[in-house]
Amino acid sequence: MSGLRVAVVGVTGAVGQTTLRILEERKFPVVDLRAFASERSVGKTVTFRGDSIRVERIGPEAFKGVQIAFFSAGSAQSREYAPLAVKAGAVVVDKSSAFRMDPAVPLVVPEINAHAVKGHQGIVAVPNCTTVVTVMPLKPLHDAGRLRRVIATSFQAVSGAGVNGVEDLRSQTLAWARGEALTPKHFLHQIAFNVIPHIDKFGAGGYTGEELKLVTEARKILELPDLAVSPTTVRVPVFTAHSIAVYAETEATVGAERAREAFARFPGLRLWDDPAQNRYPMPIDVEGQDDCFVGRIREDLSLPNALNFWVVGDQLRKGAALNGIQIAELLIR
């Protein structure tokens, strides 16, 4: 395969940097890389395959000759510049929320709905990181017993809020160790040694935007427009990897053992479920892994056709950068 001209927008952010690493790891056929970021990063350099690449400013001619453009710079930038990239001839893999619910834009997790890529009109969307981790085990469970209802509570790492979230946890932890006051700078409340039971702004009915993303995106990816989904999001003092406690009700009784078998067979999922040995997924073990890890699988005590389980995924990798690169790999096939 001949090499491709690739652009990464938002290259200096956590997801942009992870995108560069995974492009290298997976030997994605890049012949020329163009790096874009915000105004304050223009002129800096990033490293790719041992070379220093100068960070450029986005403009009307920025995407000339580019074939695939990865966007991870936020919704406003995607809405403004993704159409310019498409007009220039590139296919955009967008990691923001700008186009996810656009009926003309496929929302893709390759292990689940790779077929949706075929209908793209220049833009393919990557789901919210929590959605990606949550739907990975929901798909094999649906295939086994047809999903009817899902209750999902996510415990989200601070890196999901970007470098400022990471710095807030780091600086507060250091301040605690020194006996100093813990002052939040990014989060509304102290995050060190605490949990914050909301992410994003509150909206109608007391649900946040982050919670509603899980509802709408899961329905679109799984192609289940009437799926009942009840979400809660919690920010926790963990640097990387989101964890989700899931209750899943199916039309047919699946049972814990059959669910384990379905999870173990599903690509991109790793069964990590041995309670007798205290073996279950934890963020500290899943950070840096491409697979999502699922465990604590048990039959619900109140309903025979329901299961409870725990799934953890590195939200910078499978939740964002890796999923985007897997989409690009589908495109170039």
Residues involved in catalysis: 129, 242
Contact 47, 53 (CB under 8 A): yes
d(CA 163, CA 159): 6
Query: Of 81, 11, 82, which is closest to residue 43 (Cα–Cα)?
Result: 11
Give 187's contacts (C-beta < 8 A, 6+ positions apart): 158, 161, 165, 168, 196, 235
How many CB atoms neighbour CB 200 within 10 A? 14
Helix (H) or strand (E) holding 206: none
How wide is the angle at C-alpha 10 spanned by C-alphas 57 and 88, nearest 5°?
60
What tokens does 196 get? 């914050």
How distant is the alpha carbon of residue 317 from its chain centre?
A: 7
Q: What is the CA radius of gyration of the chain?
A: 20
Q: What is the DSSP track for 147-201?
A: EEEEEEEEEE-GGGG-HHHHHHHHHHHHHHHTT-----SSSSS--TT--BS--S-
Q: What is the DSSP track for 84-149?
A: HHHHTTPEEEE-SSSSTT-TTS-B--HHHHGGGGGG-SSEEEPPPHHHHHHHHHHHHHHHHH-EEE
